[in-house]
Structure 1
């Protein structure tokens, strides 16, 4: 654990860079023992980063020792990206954090996860919509994720607490500091009914540049990110753009064209970056959740498919779908260990052959 904690503490080593180093050298420990010439041969690792690793690795190890001791004392879980408790939806994204700091009781891999974001200057309309949205998530027992900020964020956390849903606050600073401090009592309740999550080590202050970084975790953890209210340049639009870049579902609540706090949402819908959210059924149909609520019926027997005549890549995909039934594209990627580009190409070929069909919620199944 020492080297896993220490690696992202080296200046200029972000999540993507850290995983490049580990993938090339084998383990985090090997990064700290690698000589300069071997580090320099790693793709996308330039001279500046090599110098930073060599100059700061001893200090990072000392800091990591302190972090581990403090985490044990304060009951903070250190989730390295191979840890089974690390959010699966986040794990395979190219810029996912190498290490997360987590304190709480919620399962970060809950079957259904929704992120709710919006403006800090929320209106009564935004409050009512957010509270109704969360109420509609109760029958799905969804995990609610947001950023603990003023406005829509804290409204969504409080609504989840009221309705008995677990809720996670993703922070732009370290866990020992609640920001804004006025939300400390809410955060304390969330530790018993959800949790707090951060990629930042103890002692990190909530500086402005860290908020966009925090937003990628909010977007990456969820099946869908819902923007309730946003101005035309609101920070929650960053979360929506990131979710869109991850090929995750994005929804936006339409609002009056005269309302400044609905301009961002209306623009997301207009530019086709978000699906309109007007009622719970919109979300359920988008994510294929409506079928989960339908009365159970006996499945029709499906004859076994002879895979022997298919290319190896197609066999891998077909085998997963044959065993698991309709499967999310992210799960398919993890099971087959294909890149998204690779997997999309194989799925396209299988769809054109009439063997596989795409379904709402980025699910794929056998025809």
Structure 2
């Protein structure tokens, strides 16, 4: 006689808070790939990228080329968003395909894939943790009053009025991305370092050759400033609403995974245009809970996650885009308060 073991059905209450939410998300079919969506999106972004450079050559030696620089700045931001989704395996299931596509997209905007992947992975593991998240290192700005009290150099100078300087400083973010990518190549532990180096050099060579071949020197430098400045502003504006102004943790603070992700993230309300402009990162809470979820599924997941957080009495924050910037700037101003007090006493 064959013995058949019948397993009892899994209880809805089994497992951690996140495990229960994850089952609801999986049952709703929100973790499945969206090949049609990504084929259309990647094709459209690639076409815009190509169109921008064709327009650059066609416009040529004319100050109208600065309008092309603005167009390419937005296009570079959209390429960065595609690279982000690819790196999170939202597009391809297999690691090799994701890394290949991610490196191609990153090379198109002059970003080191290995450097960004390492930095972004550490951010996702411990968002807004001042000891573990590289995005809140006090390299230029201070994010907490404790960081302000111990600040030296530029963070000490800038930190006093950093809320007013925040958006102007974002115009340097594109340059910072290139410089940080290059500096990371000195790290021998970086995976595929020679490949990343070759792609960065190739991007730089093609970019500067195009600028100074098509444009006279003065116009080339103006194009460089407008393109990279607006690219940095757009890129920084994409990420600023997500965590800035949300609670900042320390290494000793170890809430469970669900609360660690939800309580340090903020969603931005809006319709299809907000999703397009922010690349789905306006659904930051859902993205941090399910990083491999395709971005077009995040809006549907939001309803389930918001309802579940209400059941658990876990704060779930959604604001408008302007309100999110206001909260971020208010937090930056408060973080710099000790530096202003020190200045007043001096």
TM-score by length of 2: 0.29
Q: As a proportion of its length, which structure holds more helix?
A: 2
TM-score by length of 1: 0.28
Q: As a proportion of its length, which structure holds more strand?
A: 1
Higher RCO structure, 1 or 2 (CA under 8 Å, sep 6+): 2
